[in-house]
Structure 1
């Protein structure tokens, strides 16, 4: 996701793999007709909103510094209360992911490998998710490819928070903040972080990479036309 974001924001584009370079113009070219743009932008908007909340909670519980390096403020104050509060917020974010799949997975053709959990979290988040979708719809041109790409760039940047927590938890030795967690809570947090990672891999990246393939094909045809002229 970090590489994709770089290809969107850098003037020279960026490498997605060692052999595939994506020019920035691929994302901004006109005339590209991607399917279900409205639904994708709404999903991205809600995920960004949820991640903004996660950023606030992370700073509140662990300080505004780096979780991985252990330079975050308040390390000494992290106890079971803070650990369980963070675990709860991860569960809420996981419920957002479940709701996205439940509401849009079939239409977007994603989430087949993402097994939904039958829990009250999905139901309770359903209403909030719908209200957020309605809020983001009002007064916005959500079917714009530019809005889609801008949203993806923001989303991929914000997901680095989850990556930072995952690295802090799975590093050897474990980061000081997570070392202070009770063992049972730490294990649960790791499971939930892995589930969120699975969501981005099997849901978000599935439709984004699919769209990128379509955009690259259109861009290649344009290049062939330019060369012929």
Structure 2
């Protein structure tokens, strides 16, 4: 996701594999018709809001900064109480992910292999997200790409926490936590990773493939001229 974001924000684009370079213009070319843009923009906005909430709690609990680098401020005050509260917040995010799959997965053709847990996603939560996206231009390709930039940036929080738990030795931010708390956090973070792999990246890579194909055809036309 970080590599994909680089292709969107860098003027020269970027490599997402050793052989595949994606120019920035791929994301902003006119005439590209991507399917279900309204649903995709809404999903991205929902996830951004949920991750921003998670980021805020992470800063309160672990301190500001990168938790995997040992540079987070506030280290030393993290005990079982804070750890359990963090687990609860990760569970809240997991509930949002389940709701996204349940409400949008079929229409977007994503989520295969991602087992949905029983979720409390209901009318109240649905109205909350309706309010978040109310009045926004949900079928704009530009809004979609802008949303992806935000989402891929916020998603790095999950990577930082994953690295903090799995590093050897465990990062200081998690060092004082009981092993069962670390294990529970690891499980929930892996579930979030599975969600991004089977849901978000599935439709983003599909769209990128379509955009690259259109861009390549434009380049062929320019060369012919």
TM bucket (normalised to shorter chain) is over 0.9
Q: State the partner residue of 1:176.
A: 172
Cα distance change, pair 128–169 in 1 and its aligned pair in 2 (3 A): farther
List runs of 5+ in structure 1 lacking aligned partners: none
TM-score by length of 1: 0.96
2:212 aligns with: 216
Partner SS, residue 77 of structure 1? coil
Q: 1:128 Cα deviation (Å)?
A: 4.5
The 1:128/1:208 distance shift into structure 2, 3 A limit, reads farther
Give TM-score scaled by structure 2 length.
0.97
Q: Residue 36 of structure 2 aligns with which residue?
A: 36
CA drift at 1:73: 1.9
Runs of 4+ in 1 over 6 A off after TM superposition: none
Deviation at 1:40, TM superposition (A): 0.3
- Contact map agreement 2:110 2:202 (CA 8 A) in 1: yes
Cα distance in 2, alignment partners of residues 74 and 194 from structure 1: 25
| 1:14-163 pair list within 5 angstroms | 14-118=14-118, 122-123=119-120, 125-163=121-159
Which 10-residue stretch deviates more, 162-171 or 131-140?
131-140
Alignment check: 8 A CA contact 1:99 1:129 kept: no
CA RMSD of aligned residues (A): 1.0
Q: Verify the 8 A CA contact 1:166 1:190 in the aligned structure 2.
A: yes
